[in-house]
Amino acid sequence: MSYLLRIDSSASGEASYSRQVADTFAKDWGGEVITRDLARNPLSHLDSVSITARTTPADQQTPEQRAAAELEDDLIEEFLGASAYLFAVPMYNYSMPSVFKAWLDHIMIPGKTFGMGDADPASGRPAVLVSARGGGYGPGSPQHGKDFLVPALEIILGDALGLDVRTITPELTYAPIMDPLKHLLPLHETSLAEAHDLARRNAADLNRVLTCSVRTEN
């Protein structure tokens, strides 16, 4: 079994609920974990240098283009070297943190990581997405239909990159700190407990699936 690639993107440090639930998953993971913390070590956003480096022959690249190409090659090698993925991506203003979008923009290159149909290199690999959010976005809630993070990432990670995505969404994380939401604290505590339990169960399940896969290949 190869390594689990964990991508963190919360700016809240250890107080991040997405990070805490991801920690629970990682603790029950049975193999090596490689972590890239985009909040602590953010990538530059995609620019013209990075884009033109992709289509400029190596012997014609400027020093800046060579550096951009080397960075993307390293990120893609790290991504494709994993057998499973753990993405801790909290909801910021109804969508994803910009640092995670920057990472996606660097690793999503047609012909290298996607766009090859059945030959997509990461197709079928398992991924767990942990996305905490301050409010409630389920059916019947006032915010229902305003989650532009999970649907987008399930398309990007699942449809485009071909990953088998499982989503965990601890909700109402503002309940402990915002007076208007204090009455929802029990719901928050239940949601968080369920998220941790789901993280543990997913870790055990994916360990079992990947272990069986390795045995079958051998």
Three-class DSSP category at 187: helix
pLDDT at 30: 84
Q: Let me know: does 41 contact 7? Beta carbons within 8 Å.
A: no
Would you list the DSSP string of 107-157? H--BTTTBSSGGG-TTTT-EEEEE---SS--STTSTTTT---SHHHHIIII
Rounded Cα–Cα distance for residues 38 and 97 (Å): 10
CA gyration radius, the chain = 18
Q: How many CB atoms lie within 10 A of CB 75?
A: 17
Residue-by-residue pLDDT tens, the chain, 218 positions: 689 999 999 999 999 999 999 999 999 998 999 999 999 999 999 999 999 999 999 999 999 999 999 999 999 999 999 999 999 999 999 999 999 999 999 999 999 999 988 789 999 999 999 999 999 999 999 899 999 999 999 999 999 999 999 999 999 999 999 999 999 999 999 999 999 999 999 999 999 888 876 555 55
* Gap between the Cα atoms of 37 and 34, Å rounded: 10
CATH of 3-217, one of 2.40.160.40, 3.40.50.360, 3.30.465.10, 3.40.50.12280: 3.40.50.360
Contact between 168 and 59 (Cβ < 8 Å) = no
How many whole angstroms separate alpha carbon 66 and alpha carbon 60? 9
- Supply the pLDDT for residue 118: 78
